[in-house]
Chains A and B, each alone.
Chain A
Amino acid sequence: MGGKEIMIHDSALGPHQEILTARATDKKILGKAQDGGIVTALLVYALEKNIIDGTIVAGDGKEAWKPEPIVATTKKEILKSSGTKYTMCPNLAMVKEATRRYGLEKMGIVGTPCQIMGVRKMQAYPMGLRHVTDKIALIAGIYCMENFPYDSLKAFIQDKANTTPEKVVKMDISKGKLFIRTSDDETAIPIKQTHGYEQSGCRYCMDYVAELSDVSCGSVGAKPGWSTVIKRTDVGCSLVDSAVEDGVLEVTETNTGKFGLEMLRKLATNKKKQRVKNVDKALDLGLEVPFTRSDLKEDILENR
């Protein structure tokens, strides 16, 4: 396993070597994690195999559903942080701290596509990161359409679901809806109604599937309780392959059809097409957006 396959260049889904559908086998992880528990399972596995000695994750903050970045160095800490929180968590703020206060030599990082872009930029141009970037060992990405400021999230919870953040046990975006679950109730808000609540920076983001990560995953394209896993770099491929081999992840057949990979590709493509228009508009207004005008791009789907 871990043999080098050929990198597939794909401007909608990003460069990757293989896409598979999988879930964690550990029931404890599945109970707590978002979909297939892939990120949690891979991080715990990487920790146990000494591929990483700790990882930056979105941990619990002082307020319910308002995460703060933490450095997890044990399985318990990683498990405690599992599950998606639909608001910003500045994970990159911890990269220096992780190598200093926590002394990590082999750091794992979990992030949204934009955060993964930031990590790769840090690696390419580490002006202000003395002895940090050489300690990054694993970069795991999660799919992301957009992110919400905490107050937007609170508006959904309080005004639409008529409850409080403390009472919410799970939030989930699937089938075009944002589900807010309490112990005895469930509210579904159509995603269309959440538009206008997302943070403005997301309007220019052309990455849906964390194209620059080592491995990225999310629920889209997989049946409930499973995740679509995109193996990208050799680091990501060998980690996933050995996790499958050791029974940490189980793999099922990948649906390549309308509700499978076609759906994933459609969402990624739609995001890019919409965002590239926003970039053009912002540039027309004279804003300092770091991306290229659509008419100057060879491939408008490309993240540049």
Chain B
Amino acid sequence: MFDKLKNMIKSEENTKTSSTKLSSGKKLKIGYIHLSGCTGDLMSFTENYDELADLLDAVDIVYGQTLVDCWEMPEMDIVLIEGSVCLEDEHSVKELKEARDKSKLLVALGSCACTGGFTVYSKGGQRAQPQHSSFLALQRLVKVDMAIPGCPPSPQIIKKVILAAVNSDMDYLAPFMKFTENQDACGCDLQKRIINQSICIGCGACAAACPTRAMTMKDGRPSFNCDRCVKCGLCYYQCTRSWWPIDQIKKEMGLE
């Protein structure tokens, strides 16, 4: 997986350096697929348009419901998928499987795609599709190469991920490959994977990251209100003690 991505991103880098020569014609083919999500991830992505305009020039968006007039899914280098997959919606399942077959790198963008997000609460019975009742993180059905959590992921992280990809910075992207191992998320992760492991230091990062105030701090420890949790996983991923990217931090601070 690592090598595959590395090779592909290398080719992207080559594309970038030669992008002034349009005749080379080897632009990276990107697709964007929208499954069961709220479009928040796409909106967060678009907040970067000003800064990424040049970059977007260097890639070809070849597939995407609102972006490209294309009905037949083409072969893609990278496909970004927003939203969870609904088992009762045969088109979603088919599109996801097809995207896996036709893409070199499949990226779950946003918590609904990474962990199911708030769609895991669905039990069906809602209009206009009462039979739609089972929603899953993408990696339950297909192999996902990178998971970028967030509800939505901040514009800042999306920009950093894109720049890392362009600069072949595999070290920066490595955690997102690791995140694909988590098929679900919950505020309980803080209790089970941090407090119960005796590593909580009561810093409050989890509470800051929570988009719904399900996580607050009480007596120097996270206090979790499950009723408010949207299962995005941000409290765990943003926790100071869940994983420790010291090399990236040093790099960004110019301390290497």
Measured CB to CB, the nearest residue on chain A to B152 is A130
Measured CB to CB, the nearest residue on chain B to A126 is B156
By a CB distance below 8 angstroms, the chain A residues around B154 are 126-132
User: Which one, B198, B240, B249, B252, contacts A200 given CB within 8 A?
Assistant: B198
The reply to whether B156 and A131 contact each other, CB–CB distance below 8 Å, is: yes
Q: List B residues 224-256 near A (Cβ within 8 Å).
A: 232, 234-235, 237-238, 240-249, 252-255
By a CB distance below 8 angstroms, the chain B residues around A69 are 204
Q: How far is the CA of A120 from the CA of B245 in the complex (A)?
A: 9
Interface residues of A (CB under 8 A from B): 7, 9, 15, 69, 87-97, 111-112, 114-115, 117-118, 120-134, 147, 149-150, 199-205, 212, 233, 282, 287-291, 303-304
User: Which one, A15, A118, A303, contacts B240 given CB within 8 A?
Assistant: A118
The reply to whether B199 and A201 contact each other, CB–CB distance below 8 Å, is: yes
Q: List B residues 192-214 near A (Cβ within 8 Å).
A: 193, 197-205, 207-211
Measured CB to CB, the nearest residue on chain A to B238 is A128
Q: How far is the CA of A183 from the CA of B216 in the complex (A)?
A: 35
User: What is the distance, in angstroms, from A144's C-beta to the closest C-beta of chain B?
Assistant: 10
What are 30 A-B residue pairs whose CB atoms fall within 8 Å in the complex?
Answer: A88-B220, A90-B207, A93-B216, A94-B204, A94-B208, A97-B208, A111-B203, A114-B203, A115-B204, A120-B252, A122-B238, A125-B157, A125-B245, A126-B156, A126-B160, A127-B153, A128-B153, A128-B210, A128-B238, A129-B209, A130-B152, A147-B201, A199-B200, A201-B199, A203-B198, A205-B201, A233-B253, A282-B197, A287-B198, A304-B244
Is B115 in the interface zone, CB < 8 Å from A?
A: no
By a CB distance below 8 angstroms, the chain A residues around B238 are 121-122, 125, 127-129
Is B74 in the interface zone, CB < 8 Å from A?
A: no
User: What is the distance, in angstroms, from B25's C-beta to the closest C-beta of chain A?
Assistant: 35
The reply to whether B241 and A90 contact each other, CB–CB distance below 8 Å, is: no
By a CB distance below 8 angstroms, the chain B residues around A303 are 246
Extra contacts, 20 of them, besides A121-B205, A128-B208, A130-B156 (Cβ < 8 A), are A69-B204, A111-B203, A114-B201, A117-B244, A118-B205, A121-B240, A121-B244, A124-B248, A124-B249, A125-B245, A126-B154, A126-B160, A127-B148, A127-B209, A132-B208, A133-B156, A149-B219, A200-B198, A212-B249, A304-B247
A-B contact count (CB 8 A): 171
Measured CB to CB, the nearest residue on chain B to A233 is B253
User: What is the distance, in angstroms, from A188's C-beta to the closest C-beta of chain B?
Assistant: 25
Q: How far is the CA of A282 from the CA of B241 in the complex (A)?
A: 14
Q: How far is the CA of A91 from the CA of B219 in the complex (A)?
A: 13
Q: Would A124 and B252 be within 8 Å (CB), given that A131-B154, A131-B155 are in contact? A: yes
